[in-house]
Amino acid sequence: MRKVFSLIFGVILLIILIPIIFTKKKALESLNFIDNSASINKYNYSDFSKIKLLHQSTGEVEEVDLDYYIACVVSSEMPVNFELEALKAQAVVARTYTIYKLMGNRKHENADICDQSTCCQAWISEENRKAKWKEEERNNNWNKILIAVNSTIGKIICYDGKPINAFFHSNSGGKTEEPTYVWGGSYPYLQTVETFGEENYSQYSSEVFLTKEELIEKIKAEHEDFEINFDEEEPIKILKRNDSNRVVEMKFGNLNLSGVEVRKLLGLKSANFTLEFVNGDKLKFKVIGYGHGVGLSQTGSDYLAKQGLNYENIIKHFYKGVEIIDM
Ligand SMILES: [Zn+2]
């Protein structure tokens, strides 16, 4: 009788355990970036422990520890009051961007990277960063930055086993941009993606007013042959927008300019804008978003973190088909 009970008990146990074992295996398989990380972990993090940082204002090159450098970049590039998971995403992006540069993509002869956001990545010293915060918040703020960097040490973003060119920007205005419209060239992981919640941030919209004279002066600075007759019908006209709603081509008098060039010439925060004449002689530009729009949106990351996404899922939203690996 006892044997019969043991047999029945054994069969019941098997019926319960088999689905659990299979479900667990399936769950692990779905987290494939964890499994794959071991097979593509071919970079030695200690090879990148020091970097040569160029200070553009003095021309001085300073050797700094990689992760201390990353902390200074994160504190310079993203507001410290953003969510911790957004700061972690920024830390991984900044580390990836740096290692991509170190692996044969340097812009400078005697340095690995410089401290300017318009060229490489913004960097500020710990001392200068802290001086910009209220005294009573300095230690907590700096600790938050260190947590973001130290809890992601050695983590970088890879596509096809190689570090990606991890572009980022402030606010995409609802959709990120393809690099082909900004610098030319394309990367499979940098596609237009929708961004949510960015309209809640001050970086989302801005306005620029220019008189006709100011407009002529700014365009003539780069195009001496510029001519415009404001009495003609539509002297200024947007000719083409892309899928992310940014201006691709527009007419200014006798010139056809790209939206990216107009942004630069007129000092607009992005290439997603509309324009109208106000009071007869002034041009009003309404601008949506802030930055080139390629890759990770910082405000979009903060919003996703507020919705409960962790830094890995935030990164995977903005860069398509990537893996986050442990070096
Ligand atoms: Zn640079």
Q: What is the pTM of this model?
A: 0.83
Give the whole-angstrom CA distance, residue 212 versus residue 13: 83
Model confidence pLDDT, tens digit, residues 205-236: 999 999 999 999 999 999 999 999 999 999 99
Q: What is the mean pLDDT of the chain?
A: 88
**Ligand 1 centroid vs 51 CA: distance in angstroms?**
13
| Two structure tokens written together for 8 | 């029945």
161-210 pLDDT tens trace: 999 999 999 999 999 999 999 998 999 999 999 999 999 999 999 999 99
Centroid of ligand 1 to alpha carbon of 254 (angstroms): 35
Cβ(156)–Cβ(312) under 8 Å? no
How far away, in angstroms, is 149 Cα from ligand 1 center? 22
pLDDT of residue 25: 37
Phi-psi label, residue 279: left if phi above 0, alpha if psi -120 to 50, beta otherwise: left
Q: What gap in Å lies between CA 274 and CA 266, rounded to an integer?
A: 13
Q: Are 166 and 100 in contact (CB under 8 A)?
A: yes
Dihedral (CA of 126, 128, 132, 136) sign: positive
Distance 272 CA to ligand 1 centre (A): 26
Q: Tell me how far the alpha carbon of residue 70 lies from the centroid of ligand 1, in angstroms.
A: 15
Separation of 131 CA from ligand 1 center, angstroms?
A: 25
Residue 58 alpha carbon to ligand 1 centre in Å? 13
Once rounded to an integer, what is the mean pLDDT over residues 107-125?
93
- Token digits of residue 195: 């961004």
61-65 vs 50-54, strand pairing mode: antiparallel
Q: What is the chain's length?
A: 327
CA of 69 to the centre of ligand 1 (A): 14
